[in-house]
Structure 1
Amino acid sequence: MMEIKEKYFKENKLITVPKKEKNKIEMLKIILEIISKKRIKFTEKELNEEIKEIYSDYALIRRYLIDYKMISRDSYGKEYVLNGEISNE
C-alpha cells in the first residue's frame, strides 16, 4: 500500500486516479483509512466534504467507494456508512 500512496498521493491528497483496478482498490483503501479517522457515518454532504479534501472529483470517488461496497448508503441516499469491505462485483 505504501507504494500506491507514494505514487498517487501527496500529503494525503490524491494526485491522479489509478487506471489499473488493483491500484484503484488500494487507492480507495487509503482514502477510507484517511476519512475513517474522523467517523464511520456521514451525511452525503459530510462525505462529499471529506472526499473533497482528498480529491476534487468527490462524486467519482464516492461512486467507486459505493461500487466496491466500501461504503453503503441508506435507501434514501442520506446516510453513508463506511464498511471497509471490498467487493469486485
Structure 2
Amino acid sequence: MMRSGLVRADDQTFDPDVFTAILDAAPVAQRQGIERFVDGRRIRQYPANLEQRGELLAWVAGNVFEPGEILAEREVNERLLAYSEDVAVLRRYLVDYQLVERRSDGTEYCLTGSGPIVAVE
C-alpha cells in the first residue's frame, strides 16, 4: 500500500491526495455542442435548452435529407431510426422546428425550402 502511494510511509495513514493526482493526470475531455447529446449518431437525450435542441435537430435533418429530396414517411422513418428508436417523436420535432415540411396527409416530407409539397385537397 505504501509503494502504491495510498498510505503515507512516515505515519502509515491514508493519503487522499493520491486520487486527486491520478484524476488530474488524465482529465476527461468535455464534449462540446451536439456531441453532448449523442453517442455517434444516436441521440442519448434531447437538450432542454430549445436553441441547443434546434441545433441537434438541424444536424439530424441535414444528415437525413438531401436538398430537394422528397421522401415517403416510411423512408423518413427508416433513416431516422439511425438516430433514435422513437422516430415518431424525432419526426415531429423536425416538423415543429420547421426544419422539415410535411404534406398535409402525412405521406411525404422534405427539407423546408427544398421545393413545394403540394397540399392534398
Task: Give the TM interval when normalised to the shorter protein.
Answer: 0.7 to 0.9
Is the 2:64–2:79 contact (alpha carbons within 8 Å) kept by the matching residues of 1?
Answer: yes
Instruction: Quote the offset at 1:63 in angstroms.
Output: 0.7
Question: Which structure has the bigger radius of gyration?
Answer: 2
Match of 2:105 among 56, 76, 86: 76
Alpha-carbon separation, structure 1, partners of 2:99 and 2:83: 17
- Match of 1:72, SS state, is strand
| Structure 1 stretches of 4+ moved >4 Å | none
List alignment gaps of at least 5 residues for structure 1: 85-89
Match of 1:45 among 61, 67, 74: 74
TM-score (norm. length: structure 2): 0.61
List alignment gaps of at least 5 residues for structure 2: 1-30, 114-121
Letter in 2 for 1:32: A
Distance verdict in 2 for CA 1:80–1:23, change over 3 Å: same
Alpha-carbon separation, structure 2, partners of 1:37 and 1:4: 23
By percentage of residues, which structure has more strand?
1
By percentage of residues, which structure has more helix?
1
Structure of higher RCO (CA pairs closer than 8 Å, 6+ residues apart): 1
Question: How many residues are treated as equivalent by the alignment?
Answer: 83
TM-score (norm. length: structure 1): 0.80
Identical aligned pairs, as a percentage?
28
Cα displacement string for residues 5-64 of structure 1 (whole angstroms, at most 9, x for unaligned residues): 220112111111111101110110110121125973210111111111111111111111
Moved more, 3-12 or 32-41: 32-41
RMSD: 2.1
